Amino acid sequence: MNQVLTILGPTACGKTSFATRLAVRLNGEIISADSRQVYRGMDIGTGKDLADYVVDGQPVPYHLIDIAEPGTRYSVYQFQQDFHTAYSDMIHRGKTPILCGGTGLYIESVIRGYEFDGRTMPPLRSLNIGLSISREERRRKISERLHARLEEGMIDEVKGLIDRGVSTHALIRYGLEYKYVTLYLLGQLSKEEMVRLLEIAIHQFAKRQMTWFRGMEERRGIPIHWISCELPIEERLEIVENLWKKEIAGA
C-alpha cells in the first residue's frame, strides 16, 4: 500500500515549521492540506508563512499552494486529484511525501480514498502525527498571530483582492479572515468589531478542527500519534523520525 507521513493539528500549533524541518531530515517534500492556501494572492489571511519553507538556508519544495485563482471554488475532489498527481511524482523521484495541514476533510479524502463520481482513488497507508497544544496556549497563539497579521497588512491584502475584481461574496464565503475583513471594508463592521468577532471565530474554528480529528480517531478508526508542542522541537522531530522508520520497515 502507498505510504504518506501526515502532520495535522489545529490552527496555530506550528504544523508548517515542524513539517518542513521533518522534510529536511527525511528527504521529503510538503503537500499542503489547507482549503484556502490553494488560492493565489491570499497569503497573510491564510497564514502561508512561505518563509517556513526555507530551513537553515535550504528550500523545502511544496505542492498545492497557489494553484487556484481567488474567487473560484476549489473542491475536495480537485484536491484529491491534485494530491495524487503530486504524490505520484514525489514517489517517482524517491522523495518522502509529507501531507501537512488542518483541513480534516482533505486529509481524510486521500487517506481513506474517498470515491467521487465513480472514480476510485486508492487509500493510503498514513502515519498520522498530531501536534497537540493546550487550550490556553492555543488561544494565546491565535490572538498573537491575528494581531501580527493585521500589522503585516491583512486588511490591505483583502482590499487588493477586491480591487482586482474578486467578489465580496466569494471572499465572505471563504470565511474567517476574509469574511470579517470584507465586512469591515464594506462598512458593516467597525474595526474593533471586526477584530473581536474574527478572534472569536478563529477560536471556534480551532475547536471544530479538534472535533474533526477526534472523530477520525474515535469514530472512523484512523489512528493519530499525538505529540505535545511543549516538547523541544528536536525531541519531537526525533520521535517522528523513529516512528516513520518503523512504519517503513513494517510496510
H/E element, 30 = strand 28-32
For 229-244, what is each residue's pLDDT tens digit? 999 999 999 999 999 9
How would CATH label the architecture of 3-135+210-249? Answer: 3-Layer(aba) Sandwich (3.40)
Residue 12 clears pLDDT 90, i.e. is over it: yes
Instruction: Categorize the per-residue pLDDT at 133 as very low, low, confident or very high, splitting at 50, 70 and 90.
Output: very high
Instruction: Categorize the per-residue pLDDT at 121 as very low, low, confident or very high, splitting at 50, 70 and 90.
Output: confident
Instruction: Categorize the per-residue pLDDT at 20 as very low, low, confident or very high, splitting at 50, 70 and 90.
Output: very high
Question: Residues 41, 160: contact at Cβ < 8 Å?
Answer: yes
Residue 1 clears pLDDT 70, i.e. is over it: no
Give the per-residue pLDDT at 103: 98
Residue 251 clears pLDDT 80, i.e. is over it: no
On the question of a common fold for 3-135+210-249 and 138-201, the answer reads no
58-62, 122-126, 207-211, 212-216: which has the minimum mean pLDDT? 122-126
Residue 161 clears pLDDT 80, i.e. is over it: yes
Instruction: Categorize the per-residue pLDDT at 116 as very low, low, confident or very high, splitting at 50, 70 and 90.
Output: confident
Instruction: Categorize the per-residue pLDDT at 13 as very low, low, confident or very high, splitting at 50, 70 and 90.
Output: very high
Best CA proximity match to 246, nearest among 129, 93, 110: 129
CATH of the structural domain 138-201, one choice from 1.10.287, 1.10.10, 3.90.550, 1.20.272: 1.10.287
Instruction: Categorize the per-residue pLDDT at 204 as very low, low, confident or very high, splitting at 50, 70 and 90.
Output: very high
Instruction: Categorize the per-residue pLDDT at 118 as very low, low, confident or very high, splitting at 50, 70 and 90.
Output: confident
Residue 151 clears pLDDT 70, i.e. is over it: yes
> What does each C-alpha distance from 249 to 2, 90, 111, 124, 240 come to in angstroms?
13, 19, 20, 16, 14
3-state secondary structure of 114: coil
Segments making up each domain of the chain, as ranges:
3-135+210-249, 138-201
Give the other-Cβ count within 10 Å of 247's Cβ.
14
What are the residue ranges of helices labelled H in 52-134?
76-92, 104-111
Structure-block grid coordinates of residue 110? 486521500
Best CA proximity match to 16, nearest among 154, 196, 204, 145: 145
Residue written as grid cell 473581536: 196
